[in-house]
Chain A
């Protein structure tokens, strides 16, 4: 870094003027460094690392908010999870279904829209504005409005469907439709974000590639498939994995739309953590669940970073 050469130059200036020595100046600078980072670092220790350690410790205890801490029970909580808790298995399946439905739908739709908007159409800024609008809206507001829209007989969606003769299901209260509703509404909310990222990547593909292909007689589909898409693969992978990681954290959306129902069919892992901790007060068990959530997120994030460094960043 140029810093060291600046220091040398500065050194000679200071030496000429008889100022304090190089090392004490460096020490003073380093103190500033510590001072500047201390709010962030201390905050991190207190509110992130500390709690993480606490969660792991809690997960090894039989701790209940009402009944107190019965002490260390080793991996009992984890054993319960995988053997005697019927809801855990359901929750994990729900989480898997949720993520596996949401991610392809989100990425494919945002890719399609990004490609449509990369054609240089007039008015595309307006469309971008519209598709991105739900992203800045609060999850609570979005979920509350959709809960209103998806009401059984009287909701606007079913009323509109009835106008064309379709008898819509009770979207939020029928077992499988609830999951579909939760996924689709969540996709609509967030795909603007992926769309914008993919749009930036698509417009960064050099025009020459496409022009050369046109000269060679390629039609639109061939250009898309053989030229554009391969260039977009890094971004697509990136967008996919951040979507997957994001899907692990979806809580307020589900709480406000279905409350985890009907019959816990939309309860995902992060919701289950809240459920066990704040409705059953089973802090120990909830912490074990949180640890599982953390491990899954960790693995995916590591994969994300590995992918990014192998494929290069934007």
Chain B
């Protein structure tokens, strides 16, 4: 009969092995961020130094200055930011209105319209990019931010939002609106003053998902925008090249660091809610 001590020792070893596994597994997730940040402080000659150094020899903060002078990076940063904000606000409004109506307002054709809109979930936006581009071209709106704001608000990405809001609004008990209804409140004030405020947690989750989707959007800006002043971050990051087209890695890493750090900070602070939003949106 093996002793208690043996089993305790075994459990300890198993635990240690578990931690080792988890730490080793974490390397490919963490190392890119580390290397990105430290490389942004290296000089071009240090960047590929061998043997590789985990920390820069000298810290070249001027790389971050050069990021802004090489191209209108501040402008591009701002572009990404304000577009994401507009898309988020717009999506929240469209999705909560539609979700509320689909959930709580009886009207003829409601089910049909809902299923119709739901089919948008099956449509990868990559499929519709060609006609959408043409449409924008006809309107003379290609080299502008218009398609980057309007299409996500109404298009396939927002349908997820409508679905989420509908799910939520279905779940609130009828009694909440009864009092207002009996008092003769209009449908709009029932929505605006009662249902909408209650939806704050779901709206928060949707806001996070929508903001990140817009912030990270690459295809639409890439296809539509010509002027460098109008570019958004994903596009601008890879523009740090020398006249021969060779990447200026230290600048690319510095710019990428600047674009990633704010998101990471918010992510660390609000990790519970962020991870939750992603998880629940996936499990539609």
Verify A6–B174 contact, CB threshold 8 A: yes
Q: Which of A13, A26, A47, A154 contacts B154 (CB 8 A)?
A: A47
Verify B218–A40 contact, CB threshold 8 A: no
Query: Per-position contact with A for B175-211: 1 when CB-CB < 8 Å, else 0?
Result: 0001001101011100100000000000000000000
Closest B residue by C-beta to A121: B18
Verify A36–B101 contact, CB threshold 8 A: yes
Verify A44–B218 contact, CB threshold 8 A: no
Closest A residue by C-beta to B28: A188
Verify A141–B123 contact, CB threshold 8 A: no
Q: Is the interface of B mostly helix, strand, loop or mixed?
A: helix
- B238 in contact (CB, < 8 A): yes
Known: A36-B98, A149-B32. A43 touches B127 (CB 8 A): no
Query: Per-position contact with B for A123-152: 1 when CB-CB < 8 Å, else 0?
Result: 001011111111111111110111111010
Verify B130–A252 contact, CB threshold 8 A: no
Residues of chain B with a CB closer than 8 A to A242's CB: 282
Verify B128–A32 contact, CB threshold 8 A: no
Known: A54-B131, A273-B126. A10 touches B153 (CB 8 A): no
Verify B283–A278 contact, CB threshold 8 A: no
Residues of chain A with a CB closer than 8 A to B26's CB: 127, 130-131
CA distance A135 to B208 in the complex (A): 13
CA distance A44 to B178 in the complex (A): 32
Residues of chain B with a CB closer than 8 A to A131's CB: 25-26, 29
- B1 in contact (CB, < 8 A): no
Residues of chain A with a CB closer than 8 A to B95's CB: 40
Residues of chain A with a CB closer than 8 A to B132's CB: 47, 51
Verify B156–A40 contact, CB threshold 8 A: no
- B117 in contact (CB, < 8 A): yes
Closest A residue by C-beta to B151: A47
- A301 in contact (CB, < 8 A): yes
- A224 in contact (CB, < 8 A): no
Closest 4 CB pairs of A and B: A43-B154, A140-B234, A33-B107, A36-B101
Please give the residue numbers on chain B whose beta carbons come within 8 Å of chain A beta carbons, in ascending order.
Answer: 15, 18-19, 21-22, 25-26, 28-30, 32-33, 35-36, 39, 48, 50-52, 93-95, 97-98, 100-102, 105-108, 110, 113, 116-117, 120-124, 126-132, 134-135, 150-151, 153-156, 158-159, 162, 174, 178, 181-182, 184, 186-188, 191, 212, 215-216, 218-219, 222-223, 233-235, 237-238, 247, 249, 252-253, 256, 259-260, 263-264, 267-268, 271, 274-275, 278-279, 282-283
Verify A37–B253 contact, CB threshold 8 A: no
Residues of chain A with a CB closer than 8 A to B51's CB: 159, 163
Verify B182–A29 contact, CB threshold 8 A: no
Residues of chain B with a CB closer than 8 A to A31's CB: 107
Known: A33-B107, A290-B126. A41 touches B256 (CB 8 A): no
- A96 in contact (CB, < 8 A): no
CA distance A188 to B97 in the complex (A): 37
Known: A129-B268, A148-B252, A270-B126. A278 touches B223 (CB 8 A): yes
Q: Min CB distance, B203 to chain A, in Å?
A: 16
Verify B101–A48 contact, CB threshold 8 A: no
Chosen A-B contacts, 8 in total, with CB atoms closer than 8 Å, are A6-B178, A32-B188, A39-B154, A48-B155, A127-B22, A133-B29, A137-B263, A252-B218
Starting from the known contacts A121-B22, A139-B234, 8 additional A-B residue pairs (CB-CB under 8 Å) come to A29-B106, A51-B131, A119-B18, A138-B234, A144-B256, A148-B252, A155-B48, A251-B219
- A93 in contact (CB, < 8 A): no
- A248 in contact (CB, < 8 A): yes
CA distance A229 to B150 in the complex (A): 44
Verify A121–B19 contact, CB threshold 8 A: yes
Residues of chain A with a CB closer than 8 A to B107's CB: 29-31, 33-34
Verify B39–A52 contact, CB threshold 8 A: no
Q: Min CB distance, A150 to chain B, in Å?
A: 10
Query: Per-position contact with B for A104-129: 1 when CB-CB < 8 Å, else 0?
Result: 00000000010011010100010111
- A294 in contact (CB, < 8 A): yes
CA distance A40 to B101 in the complex (A): 11
- A249 in contact (CB, < 8 A): yes
- A238 in contact (CB, < 8 A): yes
- A236 in contact (CB, < 8 A): no
Considering only residues 257-281 of chain A, those with a C-beta below 8 Å from chain B are 270, 273-274, 277-278
Closest B residue by C-beta to A277: B130
Verify B50–A145 contact, CB threshold 8 A: no
Verify B238–A139 contact, CB threshold 8 A: no
Q: Which of B100, B130, B278 contacts A55 (CB 8 A)?
A: B130
